[in-house]
Amino acid sequence: LRKLIAECRTCGGRSVSIEMGLDRIRDETFEQDFEERLKLLRALIPCADQLRVSICVQVRYPKSFPGSKEWEHAGALVHEVMHPNCRLAVNLVPEEFPPNFDISTFVRSCCFRIGTLRFHHGLASGESMADDDMATWAKALRGHGFKGGIVFSPRVSTADALQAACRKIDRWARLFE
């Protein structure tokens, strides 16, 4: 993993995300499972620190399934590592946001722990965020001094849809400049 982190930095990357299987931690084995993940992160932090790369623990919003403890486990890991190069990589699925989802409240609640935000959306199927919503995200993140990465991950199925997605993503990316 250290070699991969170094390769990412060589390619210009400022962060790497790691899937830690946090939804697979069972209550019966929590202490051992948590300690294994914590040990891994702590072993990688000196390399990340030296290379000025953030290691981001992946989480999903909304949660993958009712009762998921992924966020709690990820937050606890980031807290226990207690290093500025250990952050969260938040995979956002806007079409699954709850009806009264408030962007500003969400950003305020977790902005300082986030290293990367990924917007997963189905542009081809019409499941796309409105430009106004993306502008609200940009304003909220800017207001909290967010310095992490923004990634747009569209699901497209044709070349025409890909071109349209690229145009929309270019427009959205300018909001974050």
Contacts of 20 (CB under 8 A, 6+ apart): 37, 40, 57, 58, 73, 74, 77
Indicate whether 129 pLDDT > 80: no
- Asked whether the CA dihedral 116, 172, 134, 159 is positive or negative, the reply is negative
Mean pLDDT of 94-114: 93
- Residue 26: helix, strand or coil by DSSP? coil
- Looking at residue 125, its pLDDT comes to 54
* Cβ-contact 58, 20 below 8 angstroms: yes
User: Higher confidence at residue 130 or residue 145?
Assistant: 145
- Higher pLDDT pick, 121 / 68: 68
Cα 26 to chain centroid distance, Å, stands at: 23
Q: Please report, to the nearest 10 degrees, the dihedral formed by the alpha carbons of residues 116, 117, 122, 128 taken in order.
A: -150
State the Cα–Cα distance between residues 79 and 89, nearest whole angstrom. 14
Position 154 pLDDT exceeds 90: no
SS3 14: coil
Give the three-class secondary structure for 171.
helix
- Give every CB contact of residue 79 below 8 A, 6+ residues apart in sequence: none
Please check the confidence at residue 126 and state whether its pLDDT lies above 60.
no
The side-by-side arrangement of strands in the sheet containing 15-18 is 15-18, 54-61, 86-92, 114-121, 149-154
* Range with lowest mean pLDDT among 38-52, 99-113, 119-133, 149-163: 119-133
